[in-house]
Chains A and B, each alone.
Chain A
Amino acid sequence: MISLQVNGEWRELDVEPDMPLLWAIRDELGLTGTKFGCGVAACGACTVQVDGVAQRSCVLPVGAVEGASVRTVENLGTADNLSALQAAWIKHQVPQCGYCQSGMLMAADALLTENPNPSDADIDAAMTNICRCGTYQRVRAAIHDAAKAKA
């Protein structure tokens, strides 16, 4: 049994320790907001936060996060109670197909926690996720906007 906190709740998982966190979250816990994109940490669709740090869950063995606190997009805010970041995402109408956006949001949220007023260069460095719809220009604008809203 592997114990970890997911979105503030302790969960026990009867899985192999080398199972990537992504598949434990999606298939075992049924939290499908976190997406599978590449399986090699190249695209960022699977980004979650582990103890507040953005991590690519598709290559992170669940055994390596035993006892840690994992946060997924489901914990970012709800439709009735959106986070400032989500509200900025809606204001700028960022998502198109939307598939990469959970990962984008989790990476952006971690960035703003660490650096509440990121420069363009900071955003370039932190936001390496792939979006095939090319929403990047709006991602950048929404992060700046959320930073202002939180200030």
Chain B
Amino acid sequence: MKRPSRRQFLIGGGAVGGGLLLGYGLLSPERREVAGGIIGGEGAQLTTWVRIHPDNTVTFYVPHGEMGQGVHTALPMMAAEEMEADWDLVRMEQAPATPTFANGPLGKGYLTNGGGVPSALNGTANFAFYKLAELMNLQITGGSTAVRFTGQFGMRVTGAAAKEMLIKAAAKKWGVAESECTARLSHVLHEASGQKATFGELAELAAEFSPSANPVLKDKKDYTIVGTAKQRFDIPAKVTGESMYGIDVKVPGMLYAAIKQVPVIGGSVARVNDSEALAARGVRAVVTLEDGVAVVADNTWRAKQALDLLEVEFADGGNGHVSSDSIFAQFDKALAENEGEEDVEKGEGAAALAGAQTVVEADYRVPFLAHATMEPMNCTVRIENGKCDVWIGTQDGLGTRAVAAEAAGMSDDDVTVHTLMMGGGFGRRSPGSPNHIIQAVKIAKEVGAPVKLTWSREDDMQHDYYRPAVSARMSAGFDEEGNLTTWVNRYIRKDEPAEASHIPYAVANQSIRYVESEVHIPYGPWRSVAHTQHTFFNESFTDELAHAAGKDPYQFRRDLLKDQPRHLAVLDLAAKKANWGGPLPEGHARGIAVQESFQTIVAEVVEVSLDENGRPRVHNVTAAVDCGEVINTDTARAQVESGIIYGLTAALYGEITVENGAVVEENFPDYEMVRLANTPKMDVHFIESGAKLGGLGEPGTPPVAPALANALFSLTGQRIRSLPLKNHEFSRSNRLAQAAD
């Protein structure tokens, strides 16, 4: 059998146990055949994750995009831990967007022939790999999945299997028993004989062994890497300006494009006069697309300037009459006229309200939100000799490839996606949001030269895929003893994740139902997706109920969480760390909220006052987080801080308004952000419950809006049932008058 060369060496050597391939990339032809036979003909490979170099460094290939969430460091930490690699010798590289780094055939097989993972495999190592395969097929970075799935089921197992193979290699080489060899700091040792070899020296021999399907994972108490604070690999290049984002790409012969987009979403270009634009300095072409007119020039600014010289008439596609007001009126009507589809029905459901002693009702709503990543959307494309190259920062390399292939009229195999750093993602650079990619491909195809399309901030804000505007009609009932017995919620739009609208509280009768009400504003996942709206609705309404019951909002929640020990623990920790009930400066108040999202439970306490203009001023946010286990302690903290600021910006200022079918807000001056001067002090505490690993990229965001609104109620007596807070006037006079009574 032909041995893989040292350079080609990758951990893994074969197919084992029911079609499982482990961290395996450059298969020798013989093994490829075996793998193909077992998996079903396409020679599937479950990604190339690790390479050991002769100098004893180890490179881990990470199939997720880096957008600041630290995944390029956390995943290698998980693999290195199990492998017993010396962290100082660990390197990482972004895995390319090719099926080698996904697991197309394996994942596809189970997705298409049965719609999921075979239930018989639940809880087995194989299950983990199948689950992973589903995700890898799309190569998605989103849903707070990287550590939870790729890390837990892929990186850890790969590292452990690699270690076993290296030990086998050492034992064979030295003629000793495997059980007498140990791996530590990128070496294998045989203590009795004093023999020692580096992973690099053993790599070639190790490649001849097959990886175990169920390698033994380390006991958490023996961890030396996971659970510590490791500096992120991507940070040094981000302080020297060397980090390459999509927008920074320069391809030989490249031209620069800017676009005038159809303002009304769903509208079209009716007429174009481009003679003046074409005459401007540096302009090479004008390309008319379905959703805009692009100018291609020799410099980004020249292309942008020439847009003003275009004479374009647009058609509104029948949406020119739509406004935010008409959309919310449509929602009100839909909620009034429909019983809705079942989400949760428990006990007697809504019928129980009839027998309630007290009923509380409230209508809630949230507006559309843009992602506003710091790096505006951009995409660089070269179509040449029947091949298409795409340079982009994306949350889904393979999805991008498919989108580009379709737009170019080519097969996926003819498209190469070069994945670059993302200047923010938050869902905007996820699979279903490809308008900028399609535009860039079509422009490059028509121009016949490489083109970088760079959107303006205005394009980015007005042609996003938005967090949906939604409404909810809430009601609840108490019995004679003041116990909460009924929870009813009718809301617009069932969204992902499905459980976002559910409550953790022990309420006997529940009726949670949804009504679909189509709008023409495109939908996109926005950091924590449906949890953003539902946590605001549910946790604000819970606060209303606490006050209606005359109970402290923290104690009220505690009483309803008796059967939810993890929720209770984070709630208690947040309250304790924030000194809930303790003294506060004059004119300050606290609010609390708790939410589970992506298997992580977060409770936040917000401390607020009003500034001299009556605007909310957030002083402190205390967060307690149970994500099961923390991988990189500092990155974990940073993610929660980031989620809080993202949610706070939305709560205070975030509102995309629709008028005449188009988005009104254009740029940061009218879509304001939290900045350094109004950043609260954030204090993040983790509980290592040992529960299943939860995500961290998103769960910090949902609780902050309701915690803040609840704090404002405590301060002013004003209940906030719609966001953002900038639309509300606040005054403490009501509250002070109530206190004086």
Does B613 sit at the interface, judged by CB under 8 A? no
A128 lies within 8 A of B457 (CB) = no
CB distance from A136 to the nearest CB of B (A): 4
Distance between B423 CB and nearest chain A CB, rounded to angstroms: 3
A64 to chain B: which residues have CB within 8 Å? Answer: none
Q: Whole-angstrom distance between the alpha carbons of A99 and B645 in the complex?
A: 16
Q: Is the CB of A32 within 8 A of B248?
A: yes
Across-interface contacts of A129 in B (CB, < 8 A): 675-676
Bound Cα distance A33, B240 (Å): 8
Q: Which 10 residue pairs spanning A and B have beta carbons closest together?
A: A33-B241, A134-B645, A96-B68, A99-B423, A98-B238, A97-B68, A73-B241, A124-B677, A23-B301, A32-B248
User: Taking A35-B374, A95-B68, A132-B373 as contacts, is the C-beta distance between A137 and B238 under 8 angstroms?
Assistant: no
Please state if B638 and A93 are interface contacts (CB–CB under 8 Å): yes
The docked-state distance in angstroms from the alpha carbon of A77 to that of B236 is 11
Cα separation A48 to B736 with both chains bound (whole Å): 49
What's the nearest-Cβ distance from chain A to residue B418, in Å? Answer: 15
Chain B residues with CB below 8 A from A93, complex form: 231-232, 235, 634-635, 638
By the criterion CB–CB under 8 Å, are B238 and A101 in contact?
yes
Q: How far is the CB of B633 from chain A (nearest CB, A)?
A: 11
Binding site for B on A (CB under 8 A): 15-16, 19-20, 23, 26-28, 30-40, 42-43, 45, 72-74, 76-79, 82, 86, 89-90, 93-102, 105, 123-125, 127-140
Contact B677 A40 (CB under 8 A): no
Segment with Cβ contacts to A, from B149-157, B181-189, B202-210, B666-674: B666-674
A72–B422 alpha-carbon span in the complex (Å): 21
Q: Nearest CB to that of A40 among chain B residues? A: B667
Residue in chain A with minimal CB distance to B634: A93
Q: How far is the CA of A42 from the CA of B673 in the complex (A)?
A: 10
B642 and A101 contact, CB distance less than 8 A? no
Task: Assess whether B235 is in contact with A74, with CB atoms less than 8 Å apart.
Answer: no
Contact of A38 with B682 at beta-carbon distance under 8 Å, contacts A96-B642, A130-B675, A134-B641 already known: no
B609-659 CB contacts (< 8 Å) to partner A: 634-635, 638, 641-646, 648-649
| Chain B, range 221-235, C-beta contacts under 8 Å to A | 231-232, 234-235
Check B240 against A78 for contact (C-beta < 8 Å). Answer: yes
Whether B679 and A134, one on each chain, are in contact in the complex, defined by CB atoms closer than 8 angstroms, is yes
Q: Is the CB of A36 within 8 A of B376?
A: yes
Partner of B236, one of A74, A79, A138: A79
Contacts of B241 in A (CB 8 A): 31-34, 72-74, 76, 102
Cα-based distance from A97 to B69 in the complex (angstroms)? 7
A97 vs B644: C-alpha distance when bound (angstroms): 16
Q: Kindly state whether residue B67 has any CB partner on chain A within 8 Å.
A: yes
Q: How far is the CA of A31 from the CA of B675 in the complex (A)?
A: 27
Contact of B677 among A45, A72, A128, A131 (CB under 8 A): A128
- Contact in complex: B374, A99 (CB < 8 Å): yes
Q: Is B517 an interface residue (CB 8 A)?
A: no
Q: Is residue B59 within 8 Å, beta carbon to beta carbon, of the partner chain?
A: no
Some 19 contacts from A to B, beta carbons below 8 A apart, are A36-B376, A42-B667, A42-B669, A43-B668, A72-B241, A73-B240, A95-B234, A99-B245, A99-B374, A127-B675, A128-B676, A132-B673, A133-B424, A133-B642, A134-B646, A137-B681, A138-B638, A139-B676, A140-B676
Having A82-B240, A98-B243, A127-B675, one finds 12 other A-B pairs with CB under 8 Å, namely: A32-B248, A34-B241, A37-B374, A43-B457, A96-B642, A98-B421, A124-B677, A132-B373, A132-B646, A133-B374, A134-B645, A137-B641
Give min CB distance, B452 to chain A, whole Å. 9
Q: Is the CB of A90 within 8 A of B231?
A: yes
Minimal Cβ-Cβ distance residue in B for A98: B238
| Known A-B contacts A72-B241, A99-B424; A90 and B247 likewise in contact (beta carbons under 8 Å) | no
Given contacts A23-B301, A99-B245, A136-B676, whether A30 and B250 have CB atoms under 8 Å apart is: yes
Roughly how many angstroms separate A76 CA and B239 CA in the complex, as a whole number? Answer: 9
Instruction: List chain B residues, Cβ under 8 A from A82.
Output: 239-240
In this assembly, does B456 line the interface, its C-beta being within 8 Å of a C-beta of chain A? yes
List, in ascending order, chain B residues with CB within 8 A of A89's CB.
235, 239
Q: How far is the CA of A86 from the CA of B241 in the complex (A)?
A: 11
A96 touches B374 (CB 8 A): no
Chain B nearest CB from A141 CB (Å) reads 11
On whether the beta carbons of A38 and B240 are closer than 8 Å, the reply is no
Residue of chain A at shortest CB distance from B378:
A36
Q: How far is the CA of A57 from the CA of B643 in the complex (A)?
A: 29
By a CB distance below 8 angstroms, the chain A residues around B68 are 95-98, 133
Q: Is B425 an interface residue (CB 8 A)?
A: yes
A97–B675 contact, CB under 8 A?
no
In angstroms, Cα B423 to Cα A130, docked, is: 13
* A90 engages B669 (CB within 8 Å): no
* Given contacts A40-B457, A97-B67, A99-B424, A35 and B676 within 8 Å (CB-CB): no
Q: Is the CB of B424 within 8 A of A132?
A: yes
Report chain A residues within 8 Å CB of B242.
Answer: 33, 79
Q: B197 → chain A, closest Cβ, in Å?
A: 32
Most chain A beta carbons < 10 A, residue from B301, B375, B457, B641: B301
Query: Is B60 an interface residue, CB under 8 A from the partner?
Result: no
B645 lies within 8 A of A136 (CB): yes
- Tell me which residues from 401 to 457 in chain B have a Cβ below 8 Å from any Cβ of chain A: 421-426, 454, 456-457
Q: Are B423 and A97 closer than 8 Å at their CB atoms?
A: yes
Closest CB of chain B to A6's CB: distance in Å?
13
Name the distance in Å between B153's Cβ and chain A's nearest Cβ. Answer: 25
**Do residues A19 and B423 form an inter-chain contact, with CB atoms below 8 A?**
no
When distances are taken between beta carbons in the complex, the residues of chain A under 8 Å from B679 are 134, 136-137, 140
Closest A residue to B70 using CB positions? A96
Q: Counting chain B CB atoms within 10 Å of each CB, which of A99, A135, A140 scores highest?
A: A99
Closest B-chain residue to A87, C-beta based? B239
Closest CB-CB distance, A30 to chain B, in whole Å? 7
B604 CB to closest chain A CB, in angstroms? Answer: 14
Please, which residues of chain B bring their CB within 8 A of the CB of A43?
374, 457, 668
Q: Inside 8 A of B237's CB, which chain A residues have their CB? A: 79, 98
- Mark each residue of chain B from 364 to 406: 1 if its CB lies under 8 Å from any CB of chain A, else 0: 0000000011111000000000000000000000000000000
Q: Kindly list chain B residues whose C-beta atoms are within 8 Å of the C-beta of A26.
A: 300
Chain A residues whose C-beta falls within 8 Å of the C-beta of B642 in the assembled complex:
96, 133-135
Q: Given that A132-B426, A134-B679 are known contacts, is A86 also in contact with B374, CB under 8 Å in the complex?
A: no
**B454: A residues at CB distance < 8 A:** 36
B281 close to chain A: CB less than 8 A? yes
With A42-B667, A97-B67, A124-B677 already in contact, the answer to whether A132 and B235 are too (CB < 8 A) is: no
